[in-house]
């Protein structure tokens, strides 16, 4: 009799187990389900140009400025700040961070480069031309991505929060919670301001989320999955990370950690390839 009961209860047990696992997955990666059920527009991309990229560059931050790319790379003992010729991938200028620092996001405001580090709660300000360190600043939590609207700094910490920071005092002016409806969007990584929006890589995802800097509302998504088909199969790559914008020519560049290429992309409506 006991065996009969066990056999009869097995389907119920497995149904419960499957539901529990599914629930755990949604809790751990809420943007997976959200990306499929989102009401915000999802855009595809068209690749315009492909440029070489240092395969040893663990890209944590990327900025376009006056014809060059500025890049921050991570890993302890390998973290750098560099100026790169976009067409050739040649490093024009480079400085190495001390071994205890894991380089993270960068942005350019005025004549300065601002660079975050991951766990040290420490950021650096460099002279744009000479790469000379002119100031050190501190912040709470982890440092992930950073960008600017030309007045303030906007910083991510791997959560759903983006902090708006005064670039002179480094005080937090306000915080933005990135969300779609009632669902918060976490794992925000590298940031870039594009046409009045904040664009963010999502850690371990092949999508970019477009964010209102005023409200944190999700304005749309950009699907980058096409890029994987353009990378040699034997490439030793890590996750997508790195967004840069050329405002003068309206060009968008994306790459990833240890990726062999930087891609200039155009965003298109999903059905328009």
Q: What is the pLDDT of residues 74-103, one digit of tens each?
A: 999 999 999 999 999 999 999 999 999 999
Q: How confident is the model at residue 36 (pLDDT cuts 50, 70, 90)?
A: low
- 41-269 architecture in CATH? 7 Propeller (2.130)
**Residue 178, pLDDT above cutoff 60:** yes
SS3 91: strand
Rounded-to-integer distance, Cα 16 and Cα 196, Å: 46
Q: How confident is the model at residue 23 (pLDDT cuts 50, 70, 90)?
A: very low
Neighbours of 77 (CB within 10 A): 11
The angle subtended at Cα 203 by Cα 197 and Cα 207, nearest 5°, is: 55
Backbone angles phi, psi at 152, to 5 degrees: -115, 165
Q: For the ranges 44-53, 81-90, 138-147, 234-243, which has the lowest average pLDDT?
A: 234-243
Rounded-to-integer distance, Cα 76 and Cα 136, Å: 19
**Residue 185, pLDDT above cutoff 50:** yes
Percentage of residues in the chain with pLDDT exceeding 90? 81
Unique residue bearing structure tokens 């600043």? 137
CB 189 within 8 A of CB 204: no
How far is Cα of residue 173 from the mean position of the Cα atoms in its chain? 22
Q: Which residues contact 146 (CB under 8 A, 6 or more apart)?
A: 61, 104, 105, 106, 107, 114, 115, 116, 123, 153, 154, 155, 156, 191
Summarize pLDDT for 224-233 with one digit per residue, the tens. 999 999 998 8
Mean per-residue pLDDT over the chain, rounded:
88
The angle subtended at Cα 50 by Cα 46 and Cα 56, nearest 5°, is: 125
SS3 86: coil
pLDDT of residue 35: 58
pTM of the model: 0.86
Rounded-to-integer distance, Cα 116 and Cα 140, Å: 12
pLDDT of residue 269: 77
Core vs surface per residue 3-32: b (16+ CB within 10 A) or e: eeeeeeeeeeeeeeeeeeeeeeeeeebbbe
Unique residue bearing structure tokens 């790319």? 69
Unique residue bearing structure tokens 């050329």? 246
Neighbours of 74 (CB within 10 A): 23
Rounded-to-integer distance, Cα 86 and Cα 51, Å: 7
Q: How confident is the model at residue 245 (pLDDT cuts 50, 70, 90)?
A: very high
Between the alpha carbon of residue 121 and those of residues 92, 154, 253, the distances in Å are 28, 15, 28
């Amino acid at each position: 009799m006991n065996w009969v009961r066990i056999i009869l209860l097995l389907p119920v047990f497995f149904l419960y187990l499957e539901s529990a696992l599914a629930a755990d997955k949604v809790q751990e990666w809420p943007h997976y389900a959200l990306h499929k059920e989102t009401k915000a527009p999802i855009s595809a991309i068209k690749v315009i140009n492909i440029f070489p990229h240092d395969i040893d560059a663990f890209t944590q931050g990327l900025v376009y400025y006056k014809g060059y790319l500025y890049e921050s790379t991570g890993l302890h003992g390998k973290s750098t700040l560099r100026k790169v010729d976009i067409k050739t991938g040649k490093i024009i200028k480079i400085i190495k961070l001390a071994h205890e620092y894991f380089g993270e996001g960068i942005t350019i405001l005025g004549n300065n480069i601002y660079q975050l580090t991951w766990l040290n709660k420490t950021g650096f300000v460099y002279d744009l031309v000479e790469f000379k360190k002119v100031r050190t600043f501190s912040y709470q939590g982890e440092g992930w991505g950073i960008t600017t609207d030309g007045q303030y700094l906007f910083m991510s910490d791997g959560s759903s929060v983006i902090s708006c920071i005064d670039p002179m005092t480094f005080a937090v002016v306000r915080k933005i919670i990135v969300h779609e409806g009632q669902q918060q969007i976490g794992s925000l990584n590298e940031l870039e301001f594009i046409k009045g929006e904040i664009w963010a890589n999502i850690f371990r995802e092949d999508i970019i989320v477009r964010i209102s800097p005023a409200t944190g509302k999700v304005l749309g998504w950009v699907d980058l999955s096409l890029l994987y088909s353009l990378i040699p199969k034997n490439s030793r790559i890590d996750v997508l990370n790195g967004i840069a914008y050329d405002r003068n020519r309206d060009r968008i560049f994306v790459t990833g950690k240890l990726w062999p290429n930087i891609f200039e992309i155009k965003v298109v409506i999903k059905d328009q390839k």
